[in-house]
Amino acid sequence: MARVAIVTGGTRGIGEAISLALKETGVVVAASYAGNNARAEEFSDRTGIATFKWDVGDFDACQAGCATVAEQLGPVDIVVNNAGITRDGTILKMTYQAWKEVIDTNLGGCFNMAKATFAGMRERKWGRIVNIGSINGQAGQYGQVNYAAAKSGIHGFTKALAQEGARAGVTVNAIAPGYIDTDMVAAVPADVLEKIVAKIPVGRLGQAHEIARGVVFLCSEDGGFVTGSTLSINGGQHMY
């Protein structure tokens, strides 16, 4: 029987690449999204991947959304916590709302999705959770105290939850992408982006499918001995 995966923020950018890559391996994919109905409909029509709308920052919405996916597609075996937002600004200008929205979505979403699916994975003795962190959660970034804190929190969350799932066949890992050629990065001013690329040893932005390949491995049977790890895919920009 095919595995069932939920990819949050799974209809665009890195999330879309992950959804497609998992589908190509025979996984039944549900792509969640928060707001753009037209984009989700176009994505579903083009790929044949089912889409489901809910806000990952909303605990009750995650409970209901995951239950709907399980009812329609089957028990959820794989969760990829990819959904994320930015509300950039220095702390002198950042509002509490901008802080809270990013923490609730980027970090809270990981908790909410795990609460909705982790128990079932443990009971069935198999599960994969992959949390998408960020190079900026590892190294920090000016004007992103909210985003960097949330993404850094993901790495600690991953290590702790991995210990709770290990003996039950549930692995929990993270991927920390560097700068990837997506809509989010395209919004960066050209002069700033040029300086960023200059700091990447391989000399280019990453591609979404390069992140997706890492996710596919961590979600596979072959990834069963990898847990509590963070895979950095950043072109050598941050090494430690």
**Annotated active-site positions, please?**
147
Contact (Cβ atoms closer than 8 angstroms) between residue 107 and residue 150: yes
Q: Distance between alpha carbon 181 and the CA centroid of its chain, in Å?
A: 16
CB-based contacts of 67, cutoff 8 Å, min separation 6: 116
Contact (Cβ atoms closer than 8 angstroms) between residue 173 and residue 230: yes
**Per-residue tokens: 221:** 């049977």
- Rounded Cα gap, residues 216 and 229, in angstroms: 15
CB-based contacts of 45, cutoff 8 Å, min separation 6: none
